């Protein structure tokens, strides 16, 4: 580890995203929208040029060279897929110094593993964000590693707070947070309304979909929070993550103009945590239940009119 003086001011810092995919782009866009980091202070890397236009459109730098990106940056977000991460750590370890705050967003890769693969005393953190960071309604938790300083946690807290709700957590909880908030937008985006052609009166349909929708949403928040509690999260954190996830997913639908299923597909990696959760939802008839709920409220509104 060299004698580099660690910067304290976020606006002076350079950020690198090693892995320029969906999560990296959501975070980079969120940071720029929040104005906490300048675009020319962000570099993203990927082996192919697939993400290059998107990143260049928002003014970031793009490179294929992971080591160069690390060498030129202060905070390094490790945003490759978990199975790619070991190889990336081996590749960049020789250039990681005291200057670097290494922040992994990878699901399921423990701090101990990250610390072992990087030089001794590296400043390492884990963060579990979600894609609504792009509309600054994300829900994130961060977990400091063994050699992280108080200022590092403060910096990450400020950065993540600019992307929505954020809270410090401990590593024992991070898988539950992944299941609730990290993958959560896909469940929420999945939960769209449907109205049958049979019930054409827009007032009744609006009652079924919009009016009662709040009750469905409250129930969904409560059920997601129960899931978080079941998997070990404190109730208060679990409710906040669930509510923020619903808010963030809704804002993504309204602001991006993308179809909800496109947004759902965006967060379902092949073999990843989210598609497993979606399978559970489909097995339980999640969409059918919501369609039935809208229809039931609509019919009842007509019946009592
Ligand atoms: P993604 O497939 O969209 O992005 C991964 C990126 O890494 C791609 O741009 C790919 O080209 C790049 N890449 C592959 N090999 C590389 C290498 N050797 N060096 C540099 N870049 C390389 O995946 P994603 O959804 O953005 O997920 C990235 C990480 O974020 C994962 O570890 C995941 O667990 C975590 N995460 C994702 C979400 C989500 O909703 N997408 C939520 C929380 C955490």
List the residue whose alpha carbon is closest to atom 40 of ligand 1.
267
Q: What is the DSSP letter of 4?
A: P
Run of H or E including 42:
strand 42-45
Q: How confident is the model at residue 52 (pLDDT cuts 50, 70, 90)?
A: confident
- 222-239 pLDDT, tens digit per residue, is 999 999 999 999 999 999
Contact (CB, 8 A) for 167 and 143:
no
- Global confidence as pTM: 0.87
ipTM over 0.95: yes
pLDDT (mean) for 97-117:
96
CA of 205 from ligand 1 middle (Å) equals: 40
Q: Which residues lie with the beta carbon below 6 Å from any ligand 1 atom?
A: 18-24, 45-48, 51, 66, 79-82, 84, 88, 105-107, 128-131, 182, 267, 269
CA of 154 from ligand 1 middle (Å) equals: 25
Position 57 pLDDT exceeds 80: yes
Arithmetic mean of pLDDT over the chain: 88
Higher-pLDDT residue of 90, 297: 90
For residue 142, list its beta bridge partners: 127, 168
């Amino acid at each position: 580890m060299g004698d580099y003086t660690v910067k304290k001011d976020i606006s002076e810092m350079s950020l690198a995203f090693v892995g320029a995919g969906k999560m990296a782009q959501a975070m980079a866009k969120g940071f720029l929208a929040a104005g906490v980091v300048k675009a020319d202070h962000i570099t993203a890397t990927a082996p192919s040029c697939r993400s290059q236009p998107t990143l260049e459109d928002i003014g970031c730098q793009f490179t294929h060279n992971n080591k160069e990106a690390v060498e030129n940056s202060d905070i390094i977000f490790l945003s490759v897929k978990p199975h790619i991460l070991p190889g990336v750590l081996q590749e960049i370890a020789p250039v990681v110094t005291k200057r670097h705050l290494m922040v992994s967003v990878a699901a399921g890769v423990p701090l101990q593993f990250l610390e072992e693969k990087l030089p001794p005393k590296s400043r390492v953190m884990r963060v579990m964000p979600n894609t609504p960071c792009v509309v600054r309604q994300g829900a994130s938790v961060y977990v400091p590693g063994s050699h992280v300083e108080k200022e590092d946690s403060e910096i990450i807290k400020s950065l993540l707070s600019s992307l929505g709700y954020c809270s410090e957590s401990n590593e024992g909880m991070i898988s539950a947070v992944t299941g609730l908030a990290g993958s959560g937008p896909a469940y929420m985006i999945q939960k769209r309304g449907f109205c049958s052609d049979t019930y054409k009166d827009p007032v009744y349909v609006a009652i079924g979909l919009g009016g009662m929708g709040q009750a469905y949403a409250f129930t969904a928040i409560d059920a997601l929070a129960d899931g978080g509690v079941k998997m070990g999260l404190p109730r208060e954190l679990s409710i906040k993550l669930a509510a923020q996830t619903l808010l963030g997913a809704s804002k993504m639908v309204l602001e991006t103009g993308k179809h909800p299923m496109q947004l759902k597909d965006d967060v379902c990696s092949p073999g990843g945590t989210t598609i497993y959760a979606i399978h559970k939802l489909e097995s339980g008839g999640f969409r059918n239940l919501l369609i039935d709920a809208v229809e039931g409220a609509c019919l009842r509104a007509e019946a009592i009119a």
